[in-house]
Amino acid sequence: MTEQKAVLVLEDGRVYTGTAFGAVGQTLGEAVFSTGMSGYQETLTDPSYRRQIVIATAPQIGNTGWNDEDGESRGERIWVAGYVVRDPSPRASNWRATGTLDDQLVRQGVVGVAGVDTRAIVRHLRTGGSMRAGVFSGPALADEAELLDRVRSQPGMLGADLCGEVSTSEGYVVEPEGPRRFTVAALDLGIKTNTPRNFAVRGIRTHVLPSSATFAQIADLAPDGVFLSNGPGDPATADRVVALTREVLGA
């Protein structure tokens, strides 16, 4: 891990100084937090965190490294915009690990900061609400006024329609384990890979469809049920999905 300076800047002017973690550079997004004591790989690969900088309250992150089994996105893609931790583990200690968390963040270009009081930051966000933020390190560093201007110039989450950015571009099928009991059409608005996997365990064949799928495409599959995944962005932009749901309910 590098020992370069890194800062987290919130849009209300608060600045937290630490060291670079993961990739070095600049990232912008909405500051949100995760209070989970484990499961950081699932959090990082969850498409719902698109364009969000995740702040982890667990004091130590990365102890179990990175593996090929726990991701929630196809191809193990990390979807968070940035990652903020207190005490990252420099090594992986788990028999399934294929590398360290830091190495994976670097490989995927995810900018982070370590060595900050994440619980103090979360208490501040709990009071003030989620807000725009930025993480800066290396050549992206500048005086605080300039960094704050960059943070405030980014678009907020209000009106952000992000489902199309994380959805599969083509449909695919996850077959059941054992005899097929039911068939489900799942609209991918940011679906986690564990969802169709759990369906499969219960004998359900899942047709995962792009977020742009139409009612006709769903009906052609003659499914026993329709599943709408969660996903990133502003729910107020889901007018098309709401209309599609009404068609399904009225069928």
pLDDT at 69: 87
Give the Cα separation of 214 and 194 in Å (integer).
24
Model confidence at 2, pLDDT cuts 50, 70, 90, reads: very low
pLDDT in tens, 28-62: 999 999 999 999 999 999 999 999 999 999 999 99
pLDDT in tens, 141-154: 999 999 999 999 99
pTM of the predicted model over 0.85: yes
CA dihedral of 184, 185, 188, 191, whole degrees rounded to 10: 0
- Copy the structure tokens of residue 196: 């169709």
Nearest CA-CA partner of 56 in 26, 98, 101 = 101
Q: What percent of the chain has pLDDT over 90?
A: 94
pLDDT in tens, 183-239: 999 999 999 999 999 999 999 999 999 999 999 999 999 999 999 999 999 999 999
Length of the chain in terms of residues written: 251
Model confidence at 1, pLDDT cuts 50, 70, 90, reads: very low
According to DSSP, the β-strands at 52-56 and 26-34 are parallel
From residue 73, how far is each of 40, 41, 45, 141 by CA, in Å? Answer: 13, 10, 5, 31
For the chain, domains (ranges, CATH) are 5-153 (3.50.30.20), 163-250 (3.40.50.880)
DSSP annotation of 80: B
Residue 15: which residues within 8 A CB-CB, separation 6 or more?
7, 8, 9, 144, 147
